[in-house]
Amino acid sequence: MSITGIRGFNDILPEECAVWRRIEDEAVRVFTAFGFSEIRLPVVEKTELFLRSIGETTDIVEKQMYTFSDRHGESLALRPEGTAPLVRAYIEKRLYAASPATRLFYMGPMFRYERPQKGRYRQFHQIGAEVLGTESPMADAEALKMLETLFVSLGISGVEIEINSLGCPRCRPAYKEELKGFLADKTERLCDNCKGRIGKNPLRALDCKTPGCLTATHGAPAVSDFLCDACGGHFKGLRSALDMLGVAAKVNPRMVRGLDYYTRTTFEVTSGAGTLGAQNAIAAGGRYDGLVEELGGPATPCFGFAIGMERLALLVDRNRVEKRPLVLFLAMGDGAGEKGVEVAARLRDAGLRVVADYAEGSLKSRMKRADRMGAGYVIILGEDEIREGVLTVKDMTTGAQEKIAQDKIPALIKGRSQGAQA
Ligand code: ATP
Ligand code: MG
């Protein structure tokens, strides 16, 4: 019996990789323009890091972490998200010493033990960005603008941004008590999970998607009504900065996020496109003003977000993935194979994407294969061509075929494929 992959862990096949590459390239371009630098972090961290940051009474920590002990009995975890590891590195490598606000982005796999379905996997990928060291709501607004810029550059429209403020350690406790009071006579309706953590973390019930929790929390008091003056002012500042930047965002007073470290601003980006189905959240994030200090660093207010790569990729128009046409170089007859490899190398130097086919077989069968490979052009080098000092170029889309000199080929193919794209 052959060995299969693991449920929820996907192979990203070449066609999909082309889309991913385009997203990653755009993200690097856009984020760099906003002054962010890339950071690459390990996929394994001490379990403790996630317990202390994400929170012990969250779905991620309670149910979704891949933890294991290494050979020395230390508990390690595959990272379920990128912010805690980034903050760990920020403190450990003293990245705060570099500048007042540090802007970093990352991309890579995350791991959560969830029920696999469309848009939800056990290994999934995120692109995330974090601004560390500023409390200004301008930073939140600019990060949202950056996200919107990325979507626009990828040709994605119809996304909706929802924002909320969760308050701070000064004003949230009063809200928590109020919410607990509201839920007190409705606990029977809550799912077992939320029932169990209502004492410590009643906000989780607002984020829970089970029908019981949805009805129990219906009409619950809104955290936004409990904000202290400072938090209320911050949220107002965010909304006017978003207005100024032309970023449309809707206030959703019910939205809390699935991680405990958030303070003040939280947001979620969803897509109305039917392609995503129930898993329609493509990016989410917010402020985590207390996390750096919580993890042993200096008091550092921060804002960050993460985009779900798999879900974003579903929204990218496949036709907009730039691709140079594939040119298949087909050499026929004795000695032509070697000559073909050499000519192919020169065509690549001239900027073409060329595969040299030096397989055996009839012209007909090899042309069929070129078609299956999706070649845009086939260049044929046979005995006639060698004798006449030319090459035959066949345009696989139109079927047109002509004999031309080798040095004219790059211009011909580039000209035609640009014409086709326009
Ligand atoms: P959801 O509500 O869909 O479970 P989440 O609140 O757990 O999302 P975050 O932790 O905020 O998500 O992660 C940010 C983004 O990462 C999500 O908006 C989503 O696009 C993506 N994401 C999260 N979990 C998964 C997963 N298991 N598979 C694929 N993408 C995911
Ligand atoms: Mg989740």
Phi, then psi, of 313 in degrees rounded to 5? -60, -30
Mean pLDDT over the full length of the chain: 92
Whose CA is closest to 282, among 157, 130, 115, 138?
A: 157
Mean pLDDT of all residues in 86-107? 92
Query: Which atom number of ligand 1 is nearest to the Cα of residue 126?
Result: 16
- Ligand 1 within 6 A of CB of 162: no
Report how far ligand 1's centroid is from the alpha carbon of 1 (Å).
34
Task: Give percent above pLDDT 70 in the chain.
Answer: 98
Mean pLDDT of all residues in 289-299? 96
pLDDT at 370: 92
Task: Summarize pLDDT for 323-381 with one digit per residue, the tens.
Answer: 688 999 999 887 778 888 888 999 999 999 999 988 888 889 999 999 998 899 999 99
- If one residue of 111, 311, 316 were mutated to test the ligand 1 pocket, choosing by the most ligand atoms within 8 A of its CB, it would be 311
pLDDT at 209: 84
Per-residue pLDDT at 413 exceeds 80: yes
422 — pLDDT class (breaks 50, 70, 90) = very low
420 — pLDDT class (breaks 50, 70, 90) = low
- Ligand 1 within 6 A of CB of 197: no
- Give one DSSP letter per residue of 32-47, joined into a string: HHTT-EE----SEEEH
- Ligand 1 within 6 A of CB of 306: yes
- Ligand 1 within 6 A of CB of 308: yes
Per-residue pLDDT at 23 exceeds 80: yes
CB 95 within 8 A of CB 129: no
Strand residues in 186-262 grouped as ranges (E): 250-251
Pairing outcome for strands 66-69 and 44-46: unpaired
CB 39 within 8 A of CB 86: yes
Q: Which of 129-133, 273-277, 348-352 has the highest average model confidence (pLDDT)?
A: 129-133
Count the Cβ atoms, other than its own, within 10 Å of residue 307: 22
Residue in the block written with tokens 């626009």: 152
Which ligand is closest in space to the CA of residue 9? 1
Query: Which atom number of ligand 1 is nearest to the Cα of residue 112?
Result: 27
Q: How far apart are CA 319 and CA 158, in angstroms?
A: 18
- Ligand 1 within 6 A of CB of 112: yes
Task: Summarize pLDDT for 52-88 with one digit per residue, the tens.
Answer: 999 988 889 999 999 999 999 999 999 999 999 999 9
Homologous superfamily (CATH) of 324-416 is Anticodon-binding domain (3.40.50.800)
Nearest protein CA to atom 7 of ligand 1, as residue:
258
Per-residue pLDDT at 317 exceeds 50: yes
Domain spans in the chain, listed from the N-terminal domain onward: 14-171+227-319, 324-416
- Ligand 1 within 6 A of CB of 59: no
Going across the sheet that includes 37-38, the strands are 37-38, 102-111, 123-132, 302-308, 281-287, 263-271, 159-165, 250-251
Q: Do the two domains 14-171+227-319 and 324-416 of this chain adopt the same fold?
A: no
Per-residue pLDDT at 321 exceeds 70: no
Homologous superfamily (CATH) of 14-171+227-319 is Bira Bifunctional Protein; Domain 2 (3.30.930.10)
Report how far ligand 2's centroid is from the alpha carbon of 367 (Å).
48
Name which residue leads in pLDDT, 259 or 349. 349
Chain Cα centroid distance, residue 133: 24
